[in-house]
Chain A
Amino acid sequence: MSPELEVILAAHQTLLRERLHSCLSTLHPLLRADVVFALQQPGKLLYSVEQAQATSSSYPPAGSWALLTFLSALCVQPTLSLEAVSSVAVALECFICALDLLDDVEDEEQTALLQVLGVPRTVNVATVLLACSQQLLLAVEHAGIEPARVLTLQGLFQTALLQATGGQHRDLLAEQRSVTELTLEECIEIATEKAGSLMALACLAGAVLAQADEQSQSLFAELGTLLGIAHQLDNDSHDLYAILQESAMYGPSGILKREGQEGSFAPSGKTDLRRGKKTLPVVLAARELKEPVPALERSALQQGIVATWGISLLYRERAGECLRKIDALHPIPPLLRSLLRLS
């Protein structure tokens, strides 16, 4: 990112952080401390402000979800009220942070935050963040946005919530199914619901706030959906790759056993893989073997990883085409282009 863009990025992040702190200021100090802690986790808007400033070139930047909404809105209507757009952007940040916390609890992740707060406080923080998100959306009306548009925005958030939780539920249920039952199409559907719906919301909320026409709104939603799917598949392939790399460290046969321990075990990789999440690379690997398998060959897994990464690249290609269509209607600001990393 060029130094000029970094300055603009830092200014936007400061504005968004001020809006967030203003919203959180009404919370009891003990509760606020936990909520702030959640929003200080890597990638979130309050992530280590000093460290983020020192390494401003790190990607994605702190608060990238809020920035996506913020920049989408300003792309459509550059003169939009900053009070309104920052409120919607921060509402989105709180909303995503809440869902991330709930996902971590449901997936029994051992994140740094869960280790400090424990499950009950983490769930309560998630509930608070959902309430803050609603409050921030309601506050948009005070910034001169008519009630009908506020209602539309709230509707978008609720729809995305239902889609994302629907996808999460299907994902949880898939843990109990045989890996050979799942198909490419079903994995893509789940990724669309879980991840596509949320990134679509991030892009669409900005466009709706900025009163984009129907065609533009549809393109922003499509852009978010494609990017969300691409991101999910990229994560799935890289998580499995990391586990394979780690497994190679345990004995020449690659069998996942530590010396002195009985039986196979899951390495310290992502918990969702240990739990039996049927991510696309695993499903593709199982399909290659064409029979129910108690164990998957490393070569089939490697093939599944490469194929999944290829499909994630395909979705990024499609997102790039979508972005070019938006660009023809609303010139894409350089910072948004840089955030999306699309040509």
Chain B
Amino acid sequence: MEEQQILDFVRRVSVDESLRREVVETPEHVIAREGFSPRVASVIARLIPHLNVEQPTERAVLTWWT
């Protein structure tokens, strides 16, 4: 399922520092290695600039939807 591939990749980038570095330095290499379909590859290529935000340490207590 392509949706799941996108979710998994976003999750892996958020927890794997070396993958995060690799995505910044050689995004084309990462996309090729992951073997995404052309459709998913196109999406990931657009997502990559947004995946590198430094993870903030503070917690936001956003309780109104729970």
Contact = CB atoms under 8 A, between A and B. Distances in A.
Contacts of B65: 179, 273-278, 282
Interface stretch (A57-65, A101-109, A288-296): A288-296
A306 interface: yes
Contacts of A178: 66
Interface string B1-19: 0111011001100100000
A309 B49 CA distance: 13
Contacts of A297: 59-60
**Residue from B11, B53, B64 whose CB has the most chain A CB atoms within 10 Å:** B64
A306 B10 contact: yes
B63 interface: yes
A311 interface: yes
B59 A253 contact: yes
Contacts of A307: 6-7, 10-11
B31 interface: no
A301 B6 contact: no
A51 interface: no
A265 B62 CA distance: 8
Contacts of A116: none
Nearest to B14: A303
B47 A313 contact: yes
A178 to B, nearest CB: 8
A133 B7 CA distance: 40
Interface string B50-62: 1101011011111
B47 A310 contact: yes
Contacts of B50: 306, 309
Interface in A141-182: 178-179
Nearest to B65: A276
Contacts of B23: none
A179 B66 contact: yes
B61 A255 contact: yes
A102 B27 CA distance: 45
B64 A184 contact: no
B29 interface: no
How many chain A residues sit at the interface, stated as a range, is 35 or more
A252 interface: yes
Contacts of B60: 244, 247-248, 254-256, 295-298, 301
Contact of A314 (B2, B11, B58, B59): B2
A310 B66 contact: no
A224 B40 CA distance: 20
Contacts of A243: 62
Central interface residue in A265, A284, A299, by most chain B CB within 10 Å: A299
27 contacts: A247-B60, A255-B59, A255-B60, A256-B60, A264-B61, A264-B64, A265-B64, A273-B64, A284-B7, A294-B63, A294-B66, A295-B59, A298-B62, A299-B14, A301-B60, A302-B53, A302-B56, A303-B11, A307-B6, A307-B11, A310-B7, A311-B6, A313-B47, A314-B2, A314-B3, A314-B39, A317-B42
Interface of A: 178-179, 184, 188, 243-244, 247-248, 252-256, 264-266, 273-278, 282, 284, 288, 293-299, 301-303, 306-307, 309-311, 313-314, 317-318, 321
Interface of B: 2-4, 6-7, 10-11, 14, 39-40, 42-44, 46-47, 50-51, 53, 55-56, 58-66
Which 6 pairs across A and B sit closest by C-beta, in order of nearness? A298-B60, A254-B60, A295-B61, A310-B6, A307-B10, A266-B64
